[in-house]
Chains A and B, each alone.
Chain A
Amino acid sequence: MALSSDERKELMSRYANGPAVLLAAWEAVPPELQKLRPAEDAWSAHEIIVHCADSETFASTRIRLLISDPNPIIVGYDQDEWVHIFRYHDRRIDLALDTIRVVRANTVPVIEAMPEAAWSATGSHTQSGRITADDWLASYGVHLHDHADQIAANVRSLQEAGQ
């Protein structure tokens, strides 16, 4: 996927304000619903936030690898397994939210400084194959917004179920 300059500008703007959008969604979750899963195989709002913290750290290293190394290997992981392996419900939500905010704030200047040519930098993802810096932005530019929507949907679903 090759993005236009306008598409990049829009996605970079969304990337920068993602943490605020996610935080607003989290703060709207009633405390008694924070660790409830709307379905057996769905994540709770708490698990979504911790996933975002882990994902944010991965994302920050991936873009640095893409722009610094020729054809780096981008190692994938099983995000559903990690929820259980790392017992996301036992992770501190304040540390997760803080990690999301500061890691992303630290990566915004990295992508803002990228010259045009760097956006076509390519790596090899162990699960999905070829990945470019533009692919990275298309994915992570909306990642936190998507999960903010997921949190809001969780709340609606749980409240409709009488929780």
Chain B
Amino acid sequence: MTPLTPEQRQMVLATFVDGITSLEQALADAPEQWLDVRPSVDEWSIREIVVHCADMELMSSVRCRMLMAEPETLIAGIDPDIWAAAPGYQGMGIVESMAVIRSTRLFTVQILAQMPEHMWENVGHHSESGSLPLFTWLSYFANHLDVHAMQIRSNIRILESSNWP
């Protein structure tokens, strides 16, 4: 991936912010009785999707700052399915998770929007995927909430078509 132009960065940052609304809207369309229903045994419920998004928002907030402030930093990969199996995961609050997503993302956007030009060249090392430039991280993660908003809508469609009570 080639470095982003200033115009591309603005577009990616806008996508990054809009992801919050995208997830909120998908969640608003989800019937309450389906929040904890998995469409199949190996897929996440809507609650698990939102809690995962909050977890990743926290991780990414840290990763972003490390990439900016500590060039050559190690970015450790995680297994989201193992995190989802942690005690208490099923009982995590959706409202509380959305609050984390909104707050941490807006806090990070403020930093990214004011970041000095030279920091865009920073590169870290991901434990699984190797070299990770800051702009690659942002390009990838900017769509994360949109992807999971689509997953929530997919859950809803599947449960609707299966006539789940």
Name A's B-contacting residues (CB within 8 A).
53-54, 57-58, 60-61, 64-65, 67-69, 72-73, 75, 77-78, 81-82, 85-87, 90-92, 95-96, 98-99, 102-103, 105-106, 109-110, 112-115, 118, 126
The 6 tightest CB contacts between A and B, nearest first, are A113-B88, A102-B99, A113-B87, A95-B107, A99-B103, A98-B103
Q: Give the CA-CA distance A69 to B55 in the complex, in Å.
A: 14
The B interface, classified by DSSP as helix, strand, loop or mixed, is helix
Name B's A-contacting residues (CB within 8 A).
54-55, 58-59, 61-62, 65-66, 68-70, 73-74, 76, 78-79, 82-83, 86-88, 91-93, 96-97, 99-100, 103-104, 106-107, 110-111, 114
Q: Contact between A106 and B114 (Cβ–Cβ < 8 Å)? A: no
Q: Contact between B111 and A91 (Cβ–Cβ < 8 Å)? A: yes
Q: Give the CA-CA distance A68 to B88 in the complex, in Å.
A: 12
Q: Contact between B91 and A109 (Cβ–Cβ < 8 Å)? A: yes
Known interface pairs A75-B73, A95-B110, A118-B87; A69-B82 also in contact (CB < 8 Å): yes
Can you list 20 A-B pairs, Cβ within 8 angstroms, ordered by A?
Answer: A57-B61, A57-B104, A75-B74, A78-B69, A85-B69, A86-B68, A86-B69, A90-B114, A95-B107, A95-B110, A96-B107, A103-B58, A103-B100, A105-B96, A106-B93, A106-B96, A109-B91, A110-B88, A113-B87, A113-B88
What A residues does B65 contact at CB under 8 A?
54, 77, 82, 86
Q: Contact between B103 and A103 (Cβ–Cβ < 8 Å)? A: yes
What B residues does A87 contact at CB under 8 A?
114
Closest A residue by C-beta to B92:
A109
CB distance from A122 to the nearest CB of B (A): 15
CB distance from B124 to the nearest CB of A (A): 10
Q: Give the CA-CA distance A49 to B61 in the complex, in Å.
A: 17
CB distance from B118 to the nearest CB of A (A): 12
Q: Contact between B104 and A99 (Cβ–Cβ < 8 Å)? A: yes
Contact of A68 among B54, B73, B74, B86 (CB under 8 A): B86
What A residues does B106 contact at CB under 8 A?
95
What B residues does A68 contact at CB under 8 A?
78-79, 82-83, 86
